[in-house]
């Protein structure tokens, strides 16, 4: 095979670091090569062939590793980054929470994180212990996460909307020593949930919990929305600490444990759409380089200087941009609300003059359709970042046109990959519109991607569909306490199997097709629901559409489409959809059932839940006729 080789200088090569998830033999080979090159003058290595940066010259196989162009992987702890920023940019703001008028500079953040961390040590938390954090987007969630990072305690991030069953399962699974919850307000009833799981809490002193159902749990800490904590003990939450009690520290500081960048940092539960949720173990090294390399790849570092992040921080996408990015980019992050609130997002962008926004497609859909959008000045926005779910090209163009941003950046990542993977670039829109609007981008630097046949596991040619495999700094360490499921996900050579069907073009850009388990098999023929979605979204009357399969006794599976019409459109029928499809797509791809809806079921990050649609569809089919459910003959 003819190979093309990329050249590096000794200075750049000396900065390269390796994540521990890379196979030992592979690392030793590279380190030997690097050791030789580091001792070599740059004039002597012109044209030197380096084994870790080779790529196919003729570009026939669907494998890609992006040229790092001199970028170095960060090998630091978040605590050290915070310490530096508190010293060199003490008065620069890093976090703004408009809904409760709380603002933090780097020096203020450092002080609050340090004091909370010291209190955790004083309560007996040690490196490797787990602290579950079940909070919405309030300042306390970032303070707690970064305090854990500074002393090596593993943060377990839980969706604050979890109820009794999910909460008990995840606390047991992780053997959490502590739990931070929100006061009883709005729809949050965390203390009541814990009281039902551990009734002993109402008869124990704070820090002395011994519960039969959760034998590892010792501390329950209660935060509030206002951030104002009274000195008077709140008798509603017996046996628990107030977050305010742990936000100041007046004792002799205890020495911090030694923390390495590759140590376990957070446990992030997968959405569990295919079974019991798994806890991905992710390091500081992975998360900080997602920001470091992602910012360099998309090419709009300056536009990210003032970011509006309405994505929940307990989700990896929100964690990366809503909590960690200021420590890497020294930028400012605006968290518009502790709950889904489109109007609050609009107000925050206008007031804080945000230059960038990140979110799932659902968040942008809510922004664009909000009746008061045009009452707010959003002209400060320069870029929009889309992640957490796939988006149609028509919708991506709509975001760009309606928000009048310079660029829309599309990113692909997973919980297991520290929200990293692939991303489009600012320049794509000028160089190739297909890349800009239809692809999910190229791999991050230092990230390998290949597309493999789902049966043989062999790399497929370009423009052929297959499962996406990834390898690099960003891959999780493991599924917590699940070696078998970890081995199934990460092969012996360090490749993570994403379970997503994609294709790769000759330029290395990837195109998302479907989750592997969402592929519909009708009469033995595989159909990607995304094909139907991309086609139907072009209909002038359709605002959004999701297609999925459901069991059928004759064909094995059939297709159904849930369609949301544009505002004011009411006269579209299933027959209109049929006529639109005729002679434009294959007959077997035309949905058998169409349901017109006002909204789609979504999870906390705005990702459409096709499993819920399928369940509802099966219910509807057994209870025909149903309003707005149409069968296409």
Domain coordinates of the chain in residue numbers? 3-65, 78-91+99-260, 518-631
Tell me how far apart the alpha carbons of residues 168 and 523 are, in angstroms, rounded to a whole number.
Answer: 43
CATH class of domain segment(s) 78-91+99-260: alpha beta
Highest-pLDDT range among 7-21, 142-156, 284-298, 549-563? 142-156
394 pLDDT more than 50: yes
Strand bridging mode 466-472 / 478-479: unpaired
pLDDT greater than 70 at residue 41: no
List C-alpha distances in Å: 591 to 520, 529, 544, 578, 585: 11, 10, 15, 8, 11
% of the chain surpassing 70 pLDDT:
86
> β-pairing, 154-157 with 130-133?
parallel
Cβ neighbours for 413, distance < 8 A, ≥ 6 positions apart? 290, 316, 317, 387, 419, 420, 421, 422, 474
Number of H helices, E strands in the chain: 19, 30
Return the C-alpha torsion angle 606, 610, 614, 619, nearest 10.
Answer: 0
Do 191 and 240 contact (CB within 8 A), yes or no? yes
Separation CA 106–CA 92 (nearest Å): 6
What local confidence, expressed as pLDDT, does residue 5 receive? 31
Topology of domain 518-631, per CATH? GMP Synthetase; Chain A, domain 3 (3.30.300)
Residue 565: strand pairing partners:
542
**Where is average pLDDT lowest: 99-108, 220-229, 407-416, 555-564?**
555-564
391: phi then psi, degrees, rounded to nearest 5: -135, 145
Cα separation, 276 vs 298, whole angstroms: 35
pLDDT at position 622 is: 67
Contacts 24+ apart (CB under 8 A), 363-367: 363/310, 363/311, 363/606, 364/395, 364/399, 365/395, 365/543, 365/544, 366/340, 366/342, 367/342, 367/403
The region of weakest confidence among 39-43, 515-519, 537-541 is 39-43
> In the predicted model, what is the mean pLDDT of residues 260-272?
89
Determine the average pLDDT of the residues in 176-204. Answer: 92
Question: Residue 45's pLDDT is what?
Answer: 29
pLDDT band with cut points at 50, 70 and 90 for residue 273: very low
Taking all residues of the chain, what is their mean pLDDT, rounded to a whole number? 84
C-alpha–C-alpha distance, residues 501 and 519, integer Å:
9
* Segment 329-353 mean pLDDT: 95
Residues 6+ apart with CB under 8 A from 19: 262, 283, 285, 286, 472, 473, 474, 475
540's tokens:
């002038």
State residue 47's pLDDT score: 38
Q: With 60 as the cut, is the pLDDT of residue 192 above it?
A: yes
Name the band, by pLDDT with cuts 50, 70 and 90, for residue 623: low
Residue 608 vs residues 166, 387, 499: alpha-carbon distances, Å: 20, 13, 17
More confident site: 141 or 524: 141
Higher-pLDDT residue of 256, 61:
256
More confident call, 271 vs 54: 271
């Amino acid at each position: 095979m003819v190979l093309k080789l990329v050249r590096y200088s000794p200075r750049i090569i000396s900065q390269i670091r390796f994540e521990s998830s890379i196979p030992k033999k592979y690392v030793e080979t590279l380190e030997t090569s690097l050791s030789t090159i580091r001792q070599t003058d740059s004039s002597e290595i012109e044209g030197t062939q380096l084994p870790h940066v080779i790529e196919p010259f003729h570009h026939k196989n669907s494998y890609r590793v992006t040229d790092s162009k001199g970028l170095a992987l960060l090998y630091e702890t978040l605590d050290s980054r915070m310490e530096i920023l508190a010293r060199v940019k003490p008065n620069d703001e890093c976090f703004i929470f408009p809904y409760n008028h709380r603002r933090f500079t780097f020096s203020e953040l450092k002080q609050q994180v340090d004091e909370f961390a010291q209190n955790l040590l004083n309560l007996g938390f040690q490196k490797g212990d787990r602290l579950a954090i079940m909070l919405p987007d309030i300042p306390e969630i970032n303070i707690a996460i970064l305090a854990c990072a500074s002393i090596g305690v593993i943060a377990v991030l839980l969706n604050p909307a979890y109820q009794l069953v999910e909460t008990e399962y995840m606390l047991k699974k992780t053997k959490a020593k502590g739990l931070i919850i929100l006061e009883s307000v709005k729809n949050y009833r965390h203390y009541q949930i814990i009281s039902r799981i551990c009734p002993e809490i109402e008869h124990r002193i704070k820090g002395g919990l011994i519960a039969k159902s959760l034998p590892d749990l010792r501390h329950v800490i209660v935060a509030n929305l206002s951030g104002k904590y009274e000195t008077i003990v709140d008798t509603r939450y017996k046996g628990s600490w107030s977050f305010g009690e742990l936000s100041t520290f007046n004792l002799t500081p205890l020495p911090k444990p030694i923390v390495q960048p590759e140590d376990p940092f957070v446990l992030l539960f997968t959405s569990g759409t295919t079974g019991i949720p798994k806890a991905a173990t992710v390091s500081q090294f992975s998360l900080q380089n997602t920001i470091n390399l992602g910012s360099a790849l998309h090419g709009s570092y300056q536009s990210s200087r003032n970011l509006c992040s309405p994505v929940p921080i307990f989700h990896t996408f929100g964690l990366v941009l809503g909590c960690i990015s200021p420590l890497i980019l020294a930028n400012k992050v605006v968290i518009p609300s502790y709950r889904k609130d489109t109007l609050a997002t609009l107000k925050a962008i206008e007031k804080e003059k945000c230059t960038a926004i990140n979110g799932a497609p659902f968040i942008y859909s809510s922004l664009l359709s909000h009746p008061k959008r045009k009452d707010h000045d959003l002209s400060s926005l320069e870029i929009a970042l889309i992640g957490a779910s796939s988006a149609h090209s028509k919708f991506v163009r709509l975001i760009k046109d309606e928000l009048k941003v310079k660029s829309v950046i599309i990113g692909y990542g997973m919980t297991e990959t520290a929200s990293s993977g692939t991303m489009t670039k600012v320049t794509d829109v000028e160089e190739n519109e297909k890349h800009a609007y239809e692809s999910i981008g190229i791999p991050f630097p230092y990230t390998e991607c290949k597309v493999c046949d789902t049966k043989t596991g062999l790399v497929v040619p370009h423009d052929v569909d297959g499962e996406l495999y990834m390898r690099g700094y960003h891959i999780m360490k493991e599924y917590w306490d699940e070696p078998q499921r970890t081995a199934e996900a990460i092969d012996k050579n360090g490749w993570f199997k994403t379970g997503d069907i994609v294709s790769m073009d000759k330029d290395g850009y990837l195109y998302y097709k479907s989750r592997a388990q969402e592929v519909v098999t009708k009469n033995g023929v595989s159909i990607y629901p995304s094909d139907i979605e991309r086609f139907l979204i072009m209909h002038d009357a359709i605002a959004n559409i999701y297609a999925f399969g459901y069991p059928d006794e004759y064909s094995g599976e059939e297709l159904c489409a849930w369609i949301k019409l544009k505002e004011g459109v009411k006269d579209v029928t299933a027959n209109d959809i049929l006529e639109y499809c005729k002679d434009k797509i294959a007959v077997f791809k035309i949905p058998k059932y169409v349901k017109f809806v006002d909204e789609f079921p979504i999870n906390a990050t705005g990702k459409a839940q096709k499993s819920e649609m399928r369940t509802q569809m099966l219910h509807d089919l057994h209870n025909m006729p149903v309003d707005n459910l149409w069968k296409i003959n």
